[in-house]
Structure 1
Amino acid sequence: MKALIRFVLWLYGLAFLVAATPTIALEKHPLRFVDPFIGTDGTGHVFPGAVVPFGMVAPGPDMEDRGWSYSSGYQYQARSIMGFSNTHISGAGIGELGDILLQPSTGSKWTGATTDFRSSFEKATEQASPGYYAVTLKDHGVRVELTASQRVAIQRYTFQRAGKVQVLLDLQHGILFGDGPRVLKSEVQTDAAGGEISGTVWSKNWVEREASFFVRFDQPIARIITLPPQQGDQAPRFILEFDLGQAKQLEARIALSTVDVAGAKASLAAFGQPKFEAVVQAARRQWNGLLRRIEIEGSTKEKRIFYSALYRTLIHPSDIADVDGRVRGPKGAVIQTKTGHYYSTLSLWDTFRGVHPLFTLIVPERVDGMVQTLLDHHRAQGYLPIWTAWGQETWTMIANPALPVIADAVLKGFNGFDRQEALAAMIATSTQPRPNAPSWAQKDWMAYERYGYLPYDLGEGEAVSKTLEYGIGDNAVARVARFLGKDHVARRFQSRALGYQKLFDPGTQTMRARNQAGGWRTPFDPLVPTSPMNNPGDYTEANAWQYTPTPALHDVEGFRELIGGTNGLAAWLDRFFSLPSLGDNKHLGQEALIGQYAHGNEPSHHIAWLYAYTDAPERGHERVAQIARTFYSDRPDGIIGNDDCGQMSAWYIFAALGFYPVEPASGRFTLGRPLVRQARLHLTNGKMLQITRSNTAVVMLRGLAITEPEFDYQNLLAGGTLSFPRARLHTPKAN
């Protein structure tokens, strides 16, 4: 019965969609295939609430405010809701944001002594589609609907009864990394007659930040009850009472700013007074406009998986600049952006691999602004960002993943930023000390420069992973320097990038830690995964097998020769995919396993594609198909492992299209085989790239054979037909 009710609600939502956008034919609506609930059950940590592409605000339900499983505030199996906050991160493994929580209720049952504001809900009442979320709170007798623009969130409540209603406004609330409390201080102003509450909350959680807000209800506030503070509270919780008379509906509009209340208020003023339905329609038009840039032919299930994945890749990074282009930078000073955009929720360690190369194809108009953000951040902080939230450095993960993102843009011809400044920022980030960095983070380059690797006995945790990933950044600097004619710089950093060769142990065929004297780490078990928070060792959320092919992310040919040439690489990959693992461990990156392959975490993502550089590329095609069909589905548990701000999803998009950026800073893509029957990429230069399968023996682009395992970005931009052999894939069994 519940399934029937859910189906009826889905049909209702589809009917609303068609009515809202009558000028677009139904079959041209890829957003009808998007299910924001995919990835919300389990470790995907996907956010299902309302958001526009790259939106600053993202209103959604918070079921818990702490715990690894609730880093987005949501889990599909949970059946009660604390309230609805207005900023979220989708797919991450650490909780942050969750600003300005609201929770409505029919009547006036809450008092100053109330401590529990949760409500249960029936799953059949919950709906989500791009730009819209709704649910009925069973205990509070109210239907909650959410939508959003770039900087303004709207929460609309329809109560079971007219008359007096209440809304909890919790400014202490946030999605916590630790146990809290998170708020350091707050300043709040209330205007009951105007239905307005505004202020600034300073907090310390994953990052230390300030969030200014402006909340406006469409009715005056009849009464404000300030709740007694709980231990450690530094921000108020209010019960707001309204008398709606004969009406049953109340609406709240929420704007935020990293800068000040004036910035939030300006965003609300610039937004105007569009009706709720108009905002939903505008959000859906934005989503549909981007999703339509790729058309695929396939079954309904394939389209649901594909377009939901494409949707998730476009949620982040979030553009957090005010309407006047101001933003608060990583050192607390206000920056006047050059482009009017400033992107945060930059999960660069994850997204440099697939998300950013995908952006260059489907949203190239965003790329210059993203690179300029990295440069603005560098000017403020002294080095390029690693992983940012609300514009602040989190110091999460390792190495310098902004470097390949910049190199990718430069080599692909993007020039809406100063390339010389970009190179200078890359060099400074790779050479200058960071005295204010936390103890676990990179502070200087002395050991790396001296040894060519990080010795494990110098106290540098994750020594192998850091060395290998520094090489990715070094190679990115070398590529940009060479592109700009700075050959001496290129030679220096290309030499550094080859440090990985010093860590290869021929005996185990894996990358293994060395000490200062050059001796190998002993005892050593290449199957044991390590992570700094759970099982400290030489690797980052992975084991030696999983990190060994990391150099292929910047030097495929060099890695192939190191491993024994074409035949040696094929044999190594065969063993990698067949060698039994020690079992699942989500906190050590061991999820979605095939032998040693762990698709649930990023270090493995490029490995199946390496078969393209052997004499048995079809084995890679089979593995890619196996990974896609085993670890992705159109169910709520359809992602195994954190989506990581779209990287898991970007991998699937590339697999469906038949190519992948194995070397993401190279400007090239590695060939595979498309999973879909046909695809059309509508490029922003007016060209169309059609991807098909044919009876040809080799891959053909515009009638010319591609005999190498790679092709470059500029070749794609010319459009035409990219035709792959119509090979039948025999998906191997999982090990």
Structure 2
Amino acid sequence: MPQRRSIPFIARLLPLLLMLLPAATQAAPEPRPLSPVEQVDPFIGTDGTGHTFPGPSRPFGMIQPGPDNADTGWEYTSGYQYRAPKIIGFSQNRASGTGIPELGDLLLQPGLERRADMASTYAKASEVARPGYYAVTLADNGVRVELTSTLRSAFHRYTFSRGGRVWLLVDLQHGLTFRTDRQPVLAVANRFTRWGFAGEAQRRNWTTRHLAWAVRFDHPIAAVEPIPARPGDAAPRFWLGFDLGVGRSLRARVGLATTDAAGARANRDERGGWDFDTVVAESMREWHALLGRARISAPPAQQRIFATALYHAFLHPSVISDVDGRWRGPDQRIRRVRRGLRYSTLSLWDTFRAAQPLITLLAPERVNDIVATLIDHAEAAGRLPKWPIWGGETGTMIGEPALPVIAEAWAKGFRGIDGGRALAAMVRTSTRDAQPLYPGDTSLSLWSLYDRYGYYPFDLAGGEAVSRTLEAGIGDAATARMARMLGEERLARRFAARAGSWRRLLDPETRLARGRDSQGRWRTPFDPLTPTSPLNNPGDYTEANAWQYSWTPALHDPRGLAAALGGPAGLRTLLDRFFFGLKPTEGAAYLGQEAMIGQYAHGNEPSHHVAWLYAFTDRPETGHALVSRIARDFYRDRPDGIIGNEDAGQMSAWYVFATLGFYPVDPASGTYVAGLPLVTEATLRVPGRQVLTIRREGEGDRLARVTLDRRALPLTRMPHRALVAGGVLRFAALPVTTP
């Protein structure tokens, strides 16, 4: 495909990549194995609803420059769609795979001439993306654009088709949105110097946030020409002219910050210099080291899907603290972290399920700082975050998904955080009513209402009553576990009891979670197949229906749910109907109703753990087959290869765990549920830990046992601490026998 074409620049880097690989052990020439960086295809997920982007980033980078095809619309939440025919410019930050657009700050668009519309067509064959590098030729503008980045700064290189006077559009109004035609700017200040410009702005879109920028060029600015404002614009746009003489290249370094222009300048200069190719090489080395922590034995296409999934999973959360440790919190105060990093772009409702557990497995050096970020946020805002981006809180989604993230870290042995501060933040978040962030906010945790009835009554809660009740149980169970691990038994009993509130909504007739009003009456009429959402057709469920949300208690009490549904055989019967006895929902992709098997919707997170629940039934092999089918059918080696929003790494993390053969059904427990690996062998090499080798043995399709260095592990509670101690993890597969 066009994105895998070799180009001279990549060819110049191949010697570096070769140095990263082990030396050949045989004299006879053999095909060189590809490095992890070479296996990644950033275009996967950019066509359709995956909403990923092909621009460069460092792992967990603060800044992700890239091409924008549009600045508004649900399709363009990352600014990019693979089939879009034009590029309107290159903004400096974005979120990967989200369902709501945000960021897209500071658009730059180079060209030979000034035009009212600087959008340019481009040939797909000219477009190249690799970890740490993106390039495209703008046909209408006569320029080759190349992008790379450090942790906190973007690096642009423009090669024009001629020298002399060239132009650069600077658009400070640009931002990604779908609520208005343009992202609102509340206040802006910008100042030019001979070599660049810097400024600050207040913006309001998904959240209200403070943005600072600092840009420096390798050529002096020869002309600054303001562009007349469009209706509704609050921020300026400019033409910058540059005289390149006989040369054809212009380079720019861009720093952003949540703090102030001084922070943006320091971030811009964290690497310094103008050697673009060296920065690319440094980025590729960093990605090689991280992606190389998990390697699989598999055909080339599967290797590419796996490596790209790892890459996408490690784009977020994003570092938010400046070079000097300063960062702006949700209360708009600037703080300084004494050591470590602080993060944002935490899509917690999505990522607590598998993306955050994957970080604990493969990037453990990040965990303490991520959890410390949550606690710092709670002390600034009065409660733990739901969905922060660029340091601000969006209030998006339901429940309190930061709670299982904290409990999971403690259960897995991470002690670089203050357990007492963490538990205090968890209790405060679980007992004080949340305040609305916007009119009609129905995502709130209203504990006074919840405690009065033991659930959210649909006639009083304001919407999503069943989903909010079920998600509350996840947080309560996490708080109970954290309290128990810290020896606070009274607190543990209190929250463990409340975590069982889901039982009050389990309808004995349908065995599904069904709404009840404040008088205890069941929702009537009851349609368990229609998905609801507060933005479209309000109801009792969040981007899902009763069938899809009724499995939620398994995220903290899988055995309790199995028992309530009739034990292993009863659970299997209901799962079989869910997957094989019901038709897929049509026409609701915007609610994640895609990538469907029966009523299982892999396009949205409430379904992600359900196939793994067969491990608690009398037919676990059905779950093994379903996991294999989901991975095969809904993850492809092509631009439309992610069906459903990537959601800051969650969709990709699911695939990584499925490939390795285990999944964190109950993340806060610190354990995994075993399946069957989708490869014959995988190797995990994480610095500071012993190597874990994973092997699938036998030709069958039913898991018989799992052993770690010959010691049997429980199939539904594989301990994380045992796996990270290293050894050989064997999954023994036997042929399925028909009873």
For Structure 1 versus Structure 2, the TM-score category normalised by the shorter chain is over 0.9
Aligned to 1:154: 155
Cα deviation, residue 580, structure 1:
1.3
Query: In structure 2, how many angstroms separate the alpha carbons of the residues matched to 1:11 and 1:437?
Result: 49
1:98 and 2:130 are equivalent in the alignment: no
1:41 and 2:47 are equivalent in the alignment: yes
Candidates 460, 463, 466, aligned match of 2:462: 460
Aligned to 1:210: 210
Aligned to 1:476: 478
TM-score for the superposition, normalised by structure 1: 0.96
Query: In structure 2, how many angstroms separate the alpha carbons of the residues matched to 1:707 and 1:265?
Result: 53
1:10 and 2:36 are equivalent in the alignment: no
Aligned to 2:654: 651
1:600 and 2:606 are equivalent in the alignment: no
Contact 1:584 1:593 in 2 (8 A): no
Cα deviation, residue 182, structure 1:
1.3
Give the secondary-structure state (helix, strand or coil) at the position aligned to 2:159: strand
1:351-372 CA distance string (max 9 Å, x none): 0000111111100000000000
Equivalent residue runs for 1:104-503 within 5 Å: 104-106=110-112, 109-110=113-114, 114-179=115-180, 180-191=182-193, 193=194, 195-435=195-435, 437-438=437-438, 439-440=440-441, 441-442=443-444, 444-503=446-505
1:235-266 CA distance string (max 9 Å, x none): 11000011100100000110011000011112
1:63-87 CA distance string (max 9 Å, x none): 0000000000000000100000000
Candidates 69, 79, 82, aligned match of 1:63: 69
Aligned to 2:727: 720
Query: In structure 1, how many angstroms separate the alpha carbons of the residues matched to 2:548 and 2:695?
Result: 33
Give the secondary-structure state (helix, strand or coil) at the position aligned to 1:726: strand
Contact 1:534 1:587 in 2 (8 A): no
Cα deviation, residue 620, structure 1:
0.5
**What do you get for the CA RMSD once the two structures are aligned?**
1.5
Aligned to 1:610: 613
Query: In structure 2, how many angstroms separate the alpha carbons of the residues matched to 1:128 and 1:141?
Result: 20
Cα deviation, residue 22, structure 1:
4.5
Q: Which amino acid aligns with 2:674?
A: L
Give the secondary-structure state (helix, strand or coil) at the position aligned to 2:19: coil
Give the secondary-structure state (helix, strand or coil) at the position aligned to 2:44: coil
Moved more, 32-41 or 679-688: 679-688
Give the secondary-structure state (helix, strand or coil) at the position aligned to 2:519: coil
Aligned to 2:27: none
Candidates 710, 721, 724, aligned match of 2:717: 710
Cα deviation, residue 12, structure 1:
4.6
Query: In structure 2, how many angstroms separate the alpha carbons of the residues matched to 1:727 and 1:320?
Result: 48
Cα distance change of structure 1 residues 728 and 36 upon mapping to structure 2, 3 Å threshold? farther
Q: Which amino acid aligns with 1:51?
A: S
Cα deviation, residue 181, structure 1:
4.4
Aligned to 2:626: 623
Candidates 577, 585, 588, aligned match of 1:585: 588
Cα distance change of structure 1 residues 688 and 628 upon mapping to structure 2, 3 Å threshold? same
Query: In structure 1, how many angstroms separate the alpha carbons of the residues matched to 2:9 and 2:639?
Result: 19
1:382-441 CA distance string (max 9 Å, x none): 000000110100011001000000000011110111001000000000001234543413
Query: In structure 2, how many angstroms separate the alpha carbons of the residues matched to 1:76 and 1:558?
Result: 45
Query: In structure 2, how many angstroms separate the alpha carbons of the residues matched to 1:284 and 1:84?
Result: 21
Q: Which amino acid aligns with 1:721?
A: V
Cα deviation, residue 23, structure 1:
2.4
Cα deviation, residue 706, structure 1:
2.6
Candidates 506, 509, 524, aligned match of 1:507: 509
Query: In structure 2, how many angstroms separate the alpha carbons of the residues matched to 1:511 and 1:270?
Result: 52
Moved more, 395-404 or 272-281: 272-281
Aligned to 1:701: 708
Unaligned runs of 5+ in 1: 731-735
Query: In structure 1, how many angstroms separate the alpha carbons of the residues matched to 2:468 and 2:215?
Result: 44
Cα deviation, residue 232, structure 1:
2.0
Query: In structure 1, how many angstroms separate the alpha carbons of the residues matched to 2:34 and 2:606?
Result: 36
Cα deviation, residue 586, structure 1:
1.2
Cα deviation, residue 284, structure 1:
0.5
1:304-363 CA distance string (max 9 Å, x none): 000000000000010011111110100111121243411111000000000111111100
Cα distance change of structure 1 residues 638 and 436 upon mapping to structure 2, 3 Å threshold? closer
Q: Which amino acid aligns with 1:220?
A: P
1:89-112 CA distance string (max 9 Å, x none): 110011110111100012xx31xx
Q: Which amino acid aligns with 2:603?
A: G
Cα distance change of structure 1 residues 497 and 13 upon mapping to structure 2, 3 Å threshold? farther
Query: In structure 2, how many angstroms separate the alpha carbons of the residues matched to 1:424 and 1:445?
Result: 16
Cα distance change of structure 1 residues 116 and 300 upon mapping to structure 2, 3 Å threshold? same
Cα deviation, residue 717, structure 1:
1.4
Aligned to 1:733: none
Cα distance change of structure 1 residues 201 and 729 upon mapping to structure 2, 3 Å threshold? farther
Cα deviation, residue 654, structure 1:
0.3
Query: In structure 1, how many angstroms separate the alpha carbons of the residues matched to 2:77 and 2:449?
Result: 35
Query: In structure 2, how many angstroms separate the alpha carbons of the residues matched to 1:605 and 1:729?
Result: 25
Cα deviation, residue 728, structure 1:
6.3
Query: In structure 1, how many angstroms separate the alpha carbons of the residues matched to 2:36 and 2:269?
Result: 32
Q: Which amino acid aligns with 2:214?
A: F
Q: What is the identity percentage for the equivalent residue pairs of Structure 1 and Structure 2?
A: 53
Contact 2:672 2:718 in 1 (8 A): yes
Cα deviation, residue 283, structure 1:
0.5
Contact 1:93 1:642 in 2 (8 A): yes
Give the secondary-structure state (helix, strand or coil) at the position aligned to 1:536: coil
Query: In structure 1, how many angstroms separate the alpha carbons of the residues matched to 2:340 and 2:731?
Result: 41
Query: In structure 2, how many angstroms separate the alpha carbons of the residues matched to 1:648 and 1:728?
Result: 30
Equivalent residue runs for 1:12-27 within 5 Å: 12=8, 14-25=10-21, 27=33
Contact 1:296 1:676 in 2 (8 A): yes
Query: In structure 2, how many angstroms separate the alpha carbons of the residues matched to 1:614 and 1:411?
Result: 26
Aligned to 1:563: 565
Cα deviation, residue 214, structure 1:
0.4
Candidates 48, 57, 62, aligned match of 1:51: 57
Cα deviation, residue 28, structure 1:
6.5
1:604-657 CA distance string (max 9 Å, x none): 000000000111111100000011101000110000000000100000000000
Give the secondary-structure state (helix, strand or coil) at the position aligned to 2:146: strand
Candidates 630, 634, 638, aligned match of 2:641: 638
Query: In structure 2, how many angstroms separate the alpha carbons of the residues matched to 1:220 and 1:468?
Result: 59
Cα distance change of structure 1 residues 554 and 76 upon mapping to structure 2, 3 Å threshold? same
Q: Which amino acid aligns with 1:683?
A: V
Q: Which amino acid aligns with 2:242?
A: F
Aligned residue pair count: 719
Cα deviation, residue 442, structure 1:
1.2
TM-score for the superposition, normalised by structure 2: 0.95
Contact 1:671 1:709 in 2 (8 A): yes
Query: In structure 2, how many angstroms separate the alpha carbons of the residues matched to 1:645 and 1:63?
Result: 20
Q: Which amino acid aligns with 1:495?
A: A
Query: In structure 1, how many angstroms separate the alpha carbons of the residues matched to 2:229 and 2:736?
Result: 62
Query: In structure 2, how many angstroms separate the alpha carbons of the residues matched to 1:584 and 1:415?
Result: 47
Aligned to 2:26: none
Contact 2:152 2:270 in 1 (8 A): no
Q: Which amino acid aligns with 1:689?
A: L
Contact 1:71 1:95 in 2 (8 A): yes
Query: In structure 2, how many angstroms separate the alpha carbons of the residues matched to 1:620 and 1:570?
Result: 10
